[in-house]
Amino acid sequence: MTTRTRAPSPAQVVFPALGTTAVLLVTDPRALPAAEAVLRAELAAVDLACSRFRPDSELTRVNLTAGTPTTVGERFAEALQAALRAARLTDGAVDPTVGNAVTALGYDRTFASLRPDDARPLPITRSAPGWHRIAWDPRTRRLRLPPHTRLDLGATAKALASDRAARRAAAATGCGVLVGLGGDLATAGPAPEGGWRVALADDHARPATDHGPAVAVTGGALATSGIRVRTWRRAGRTLHHIVDPATGEPATPVWCTVTVAAATCVDANTASTAAIVLADRAVTWLRSTALPARLVRLDGTVVRLGGWPPDSQAPAPGGSR
């Protein structure tokens, strides 16, 4: 007679971070404290390097020195490299020089602190200065922004933190790890049997339901970008946080959410954000990348590309999403 031992269920911890929700799951419950320590260290580092809302962040210092050369730290340099690569791969649809436009629209403080209905008139919008105008030497880490330019690394820095935390936690613990930061989800190490079950939803903060769509992830990363959660009103208009660099305005609302799978969370986030910005051109562009993607139109119609599987309505164990 043989005895089969069932693998333990993934253990998890959930806590607020970076203005969103951090979710950590590990295949070995004994590894949870060590993995959590890695994740919290990564979150502290990315916040200090890339936060738009901290007066002591490196991003704040860099934006204040726009027009003059400055040397940046290694962590900021890595985040900047990711942002510039995203801009290059998307032909500027995802561009880190949208900082002034995002601030002018009213997203000038943490989202939780935004006034839900701002009566101030909207500014005259302008296109972003453009990532091509950034002078950057990765060898010396010397950076010069165009005068009066503000960087916003939010489109890629959080995804980079997910990638780094998952990879480092898996290396430290030797078990499978899933890290989710809002819509940015990265995995590393061996996945649980059947894969990580990830629920798909407009809002990561809502409890998962037994009837919503879900997908199994055995490796790599997922990212979801959407326009329905981070919204506010200004001068009678409803605005969202994903800005089209070509106009300085919120991207034209064609898709309420776009979810993309890729080898890294940075690549998945780059593609999902670009798809929101590209609007009606998103399907053609995503097909050119060959990445699996699931796009949801404003009327709820779903478009699947790149071999994305039909929706499964199983729940997501551990609340991963």
Percent over 70 (pLDDT), the chain: 83
Q: Is the dihedral of CA 25, 27, 32, 37 positive or negative?
A: negative
Please report which confidence band the pLDDT of residue 211 belongs to, taking 50, 70 and 90 as the band edges.
Answer: low
pLDDT in tens, 120-148: 667 767 899 999 999 999 999 999 999 99
The 10s digit of each residue's pLDDT in 105-120 is 766 655 565 566 665 6
Q: Does the pLDDT at position 293 exceed 90?
A: yes
Q: What is the pLDDT of residue 318?
A: 41
266 closest CA partner among 140, 179, 177: 179
SS3 of residue 224 by DSSP = strand
Find the mean pLDDT for residues 1-10: 48
pLDDT at res. 3: 31
pLDDT band at 24 (very low <50, low <70, confident <90, very high): very high
Higher-pLDDT residue of 106, 192: 192
Instruction: Determine if residue 91 is left, alpha or beta; phi over 0 gives left, psi from -120 to 50 gives alpha, anything else beta.
Output: left
Domain boundaries, given as residue ranges, for the chain: 11-319
Kindly tell me if the per-residue pLDDT of 165 is higher than 60.
Answer: yes
Q: Mean pLDDT across the stretch 84-99?
A: 97
Average pLDDT value for residue range 224-250? 79
The hierarchical CATH code for the domain 11-319 is 3.10.520.10
